[in-house]
């Protein structure tokens, strides 16, 4: 299987074009970074592209298919994986299979204790490869995925040069450019790809007389067809593919990790690593984990509300609330939404409590809450269930960290809201109340001016968003 013909000239043209696009993004700062990320030199970038495409020596990639209709903190459930080698810009698919196969055939003697929620709500005593992306930081998740892949004796496990995760949203985007594909007599389009594929590997394989272990073998042919169709118009539609690539990277539908420090440095410099940012001001990341709720995330509409205000004693409180609108019904793909949610805030935050409304007209009930520290952030977590055709509301309320309160008192407030890997179109609404009148706000409010003490803003969390507010 080839990305393009073996013609050296054509290979060089394509690689050169890709290399230019890599380099064009080299000076982009990470969102939330306190300083501009180091510029990648032309020489460093060119060498990177050459190495990545196996022009110097073959490269091996572990590909994670992250199903964001079954959302996990690291982008989506790892239902399928692939191993691909790249040699002189020619890829070869070594293996494509469901993660349940490698997990079921894994050695029984390696130690792998799962995170407590996975053990409790999925009733698992071992941490398997399929559940490895528990961290909302892809660098941590992918390193864990690779670690478990090695422990489970995955093919070419000791040769992996990089781990690449991507969601079905990426394939849908490719099909919108290249057009439909046909595999096994079935037509896949941008609009039906995800649901049709899910049905075929979950149920349709039975009617076709395919064994359970082979039910995902069609993915190899599907991958070949997607690549073939895309390469047919790669030059004619190059600008469209470039825009799609940049969009999917910015929206964290594609993430990259490498145990090779040189590769990882470039992934991080370009903000392609899906990392949690390290900032010295206010921070918010909400991470959901679908635990046994089929592909119900396809039917969940989310809106994240974030408010801050001072209590009577003058102490600042943050309230993070996620509204889950379950638009689905009970069927082969959808059930009640079973979710372990975590909110990440600056370390030093102090939990007041968590509440949950099972439906819009219901009464808020207190929840048992877990807490911990990861990547220098304090997190709070709780498990919830939302029935079809109901709207659930999960709220965490906490005293903001002293370092953030100090910035508010100094009239210099900043906030970074990072989107969860793999999510699509999560609404974001801010209601920030200060002791003094606003003097400057970026982004600016749409409805109100700078003549009050409250900042209100609503948007869609397609990418990470940063806010800066100064008061008088």
- Domain holding 173, by residue range, is 8-269
Is 298 part of a structural domain of the chain? yes
End residue of a domain, out of 269, 301, 332: 269
Print the SS3 string covering 182-228.
Answer: EECCEEECCCCHHHHHHHHHHHHHHHCCCCCCCCCCHHHHHHHHHHH
45 assigned to some structural domain? yes
Backbone angles phi, psi at 79, to 5 degrees: -80, -25
CB neighbourhood size of 7 (10 A): 9
Q: Inform me whether the pLDDT recorded for 47 exceeds 80.
A: no
Q: Which of these, 432, 344, 341, lies nearest to 392 by C-alpha position?
A: 341
**For the domain that residue 457 is a member of, what is the CATH number?**
2.60.40
List, for residues 337-374, the tens digit of each pLDDT value.
Answer: 999 999 999 999 999 999 999 998 889 999 999 999 99
Split into its structural domains, the chain has a count of 2
* 32 and 173 together in one domain: yes
Same domain, 53 and 134: yes
Inter-axis angle of helices 238-250 and 168-178, to 10 degrees? 160
Mean pLDDT over 60-69 rounds to 98
Mean pLDDT of 67-78: 98
Residue 150, pLDDT above cutoff 60: yes
Q: Is the pLDDT of residue 12 over 70?
A: no
Q: Quick check: is 277 in a domain?
A: no
Same domain flag for 108 and 251: yes
Residues 262 and 298 in one domain: no
Query: Is 431 a member of any domain?
Result: yes
Residues 263 and 296 in one domain: no
Tell me: do 247 and 386 sit in the same domain.
no
Q: Let me know whether 236 and 299 are in one domain.
A: no
Considering the domain architecture, whether residues 287 and 181 belong to the same structural domain is answered as no
Per-residue pLDDT reduced to its tens digit, 399-428: 999 999 999 999 999 999 999 999 999 999
Question: pLDDT digits over 94-117, tens only?
Answer: 999 999 999 999 998 888 999 999
Quick one: 155 and 220 in the same domain? Answer: yes
Round to whole Å and give the CA distance between 137 and 323: 23
Domain annotation covers residue 1: no
Please check whether residue 443 lies inside any domain of the structure. yes
**Claim to verify: residue 238 and residue 164 sit in the same structural domain:** yes
Looking at the fold, whether 304 and 399 belong to one and the same domain comes out as: yes
If one compares 361 and 432, the residue with the highest pLDDT of the two is: 432
Chain length of the chain: 472
What is the 3-state secondary structure of 422-457? CCCCEEEEEEEECCCCEEEEECCCCCCCCCCCEEEE
Q: Which of 242, 269, 296 is the last residue of a domain?
A: 269
DSSP string, 234-252: TTTTHHHHHHHHHHHHHTT
pTM of the full predicted structure? 0.92
Indicate if the pLDDT at residue 203 is higher than 50.
yes
> Which residue, 269, 302, 333, sits at the end of a domain?
269
Shared domain check, 431 and 301: yes
CATH of the domain at 43: 3.40.630
Query: Residue 11's pLDDT band (boundaries 50, 70, 90)?
Result: very low
Asked, for residue 3, whether it belongs to a domain, the answer is no
């Amino acid at each position: 299987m080839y990305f393009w013909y073996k013609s050296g000239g054509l290979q060089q043209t394509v690689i050169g074009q890709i290399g230019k696009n890599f380099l064009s993004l080299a000076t982009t700062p990470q969102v939330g970074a306190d300083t501009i990320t180091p510029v990648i030199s032309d020489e460093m970038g060119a060498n990177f592209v050459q190495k990545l495409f196996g022009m110097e020596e073959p490269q091996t990639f572990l590909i994670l298919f992250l199903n964001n209709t079954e959302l996990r903190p690291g982008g989506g459930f790892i239902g399928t994986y692939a191993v691909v080698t790249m040699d002189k810009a020619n890829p070869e698919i070594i293996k494509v299979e469901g993660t349940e196969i490698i997990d079921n055939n894994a050695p029984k003697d390696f130690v792998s204790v799962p995170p407590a929620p996975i053990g409790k709500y999925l009733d698992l005593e071992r941490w398997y490869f399929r559940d490895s992306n528990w961290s909302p930081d892809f660098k941590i998740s992918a390193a864990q995925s690779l670690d478990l892949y090695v422990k489970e004796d995955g093919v070419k496990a000791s040769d992996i040069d990089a781990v690449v995760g991507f969601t079905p949203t990426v394939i849908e985007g490719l099909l919108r450019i290249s057009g439909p594909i046909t595999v096994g007599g079935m037509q896949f389009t941008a609009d039906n790809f995800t649901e049709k594929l899910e049905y075929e590997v979950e149920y349709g394989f039975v009617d076709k007389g395919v064994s359970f272990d082979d039910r995902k073998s069609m993915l190899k042919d599907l991958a070949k067809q997607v690549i073939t169709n895309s390469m047919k118009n790669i030059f004619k539609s190059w600008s469209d593919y470039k825009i799609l690539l940049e969009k999917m990277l910015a929206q964290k539908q594609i993430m990259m990790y490498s145990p090779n420090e040189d590769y990882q440095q470039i992934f991080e410099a370009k903000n392609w690593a899906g990392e949690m940012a390290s900032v010295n001001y206010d921070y918010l990341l909400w991470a959901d984990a679908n635990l046994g709720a089929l592909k119900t995330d396809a039917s969940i509409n989310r809106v994240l509300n974030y408010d801050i205000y001072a209590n009577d004693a003058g102490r600042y409180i943050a309230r993070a609330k996620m509204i889950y609108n379950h638009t689905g019904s009970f069927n082969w793909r959808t059930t009640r939404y079973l979710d372990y949610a975590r909110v990440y805030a600056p370390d030093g935050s102090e939990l007041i409590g968590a509440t949950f409304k099972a439906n819009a007209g219901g009464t808020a009930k207190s929840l048992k809450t877990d807490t911990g520290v990861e990547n220098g952030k304090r997190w709070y977590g709780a498990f919830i269930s939302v029935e079809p055709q109901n709207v659930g509301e999960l709220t965490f309320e906490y005293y903001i960290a002293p370092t953030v309160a100090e910035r508010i008192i100094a009239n210099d407030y900043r906030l970074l809201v990072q989107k969860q890997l793999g999510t699509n179109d999560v609404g974001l609404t801010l209601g920030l109340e200060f002791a003094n009148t606003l003097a400057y706000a970026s982004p600016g409010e749409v409805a109100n001016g700078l003549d009050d003490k409250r900042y209100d803003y609503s948007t869609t969390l397609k990418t990470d968003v940063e806010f800066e507010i100064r008061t008088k």
